[in-house]
Amino acid sequence: MTARWDELADGVFARRYPEWDLTVGLVVGDGACLVIDTRANAAEGAELARAVREVTPHPWTVVLTHDHFDHSFGVSAFLPCEVWAHENCHRELAARGNPELALPDRLLTDRAELDIGGRRVDLVHLGPAHSDNDVVVHVPDVSVVFAGDLVEVAPPGSFSAESFGTDTTLSGWPGALDDLLALGAEVVIPGHGAPVDRGFVMAQKDILHHLSTLDSSVRAGEMDAAAAIAASPVAEDVTRAALRLG
């Protein structure tokens, strides 16, 4: 895969990278732009910054969809600028104790509305799910939402084992996708993979709900690990990661 910009709607772009099939975004307004996620390190961030300049010369604002390294460690390449993120994202990045990591300086708790060159962009936290600091980026005038890792495309299944970490709140994830769908966007940009539609998100929500139900049964002692794996809608390694079965 060669990284390239795909214009998904007027002034709204996605760019996919072969590393982890990462997808980042760009929203261009009148005299301003918004960069969505910054890749995994300063060098990768610098490549993305150069790529943004292939599209627009406008000054940028940055938003991080969450704190995981592949999305947030390239911020320094864009400074000085405003960097938006959930307040817990700031906490997690600061806790790493890495002086080379640039921290977000514009923090939200539930939501924030940005003016990107006369274009409204909503930043929304839908509760603990993939992480405790997921932020979706909604561009309502073109019915597009950048979902970060709340939505992932991981062929041949819908998730990989890496989709679920120690900071994942499995029980909260289906409801977060319900709230994402309630935003009304028709095009959803995942944190990894190609753009998807609402039907794909609904299918992922159903899988997560099933996994959450299995997790509750295992924790309650109503089902053992082998039975949960057999009843799971996803592969064994993904099930073990989602249910923290080891």
Q: What CATH number does the domain containing 74 carry?
A: 3.60.15.10
Mean pLDDT over 141-149 rounds to 98
The tally of domains found in the chain comes to: 1
CB atoms within 10 A of CB 163: 22
Task: Output DSSP code: residue 170.
Answer: G
Enter the pTM of the model.
Answer: 0.97
User: How far is Cα 80 from Cα 62, in angstroms, rounded to an integer?
Assistant: 10
Q: Tens digits of per-residue pLDDT, 85-108?
A: 999 999 999 999 999 999 999 999
Is 234 contained in some domain?
no
Range of the domain at 191: 5-196
CB atoms within 10 A of CB 111: 13
Split at pLDDT 50, 70, 90, the class of 49 is very high
Is 246 contained in some domain?
no
**Distance of alpha carbon 112 from the chain centroid:** 17
Determine the pLDDT at residue 2: 87
User: How far is Cα 165 from Cα 149, in angstroms, rounded to an integer?
Assistant: 12
Environment class of 42 (CB within 10 Å of its CB; exposed 0-12, middle 13-18, buried 19+):
middle
Is 203 contained in some domain?
no
Is 238 contained in some domain?
no
Phi-psi region of 127 (alpha: psi -120 to 50; beta: other; left: phi over 0): left
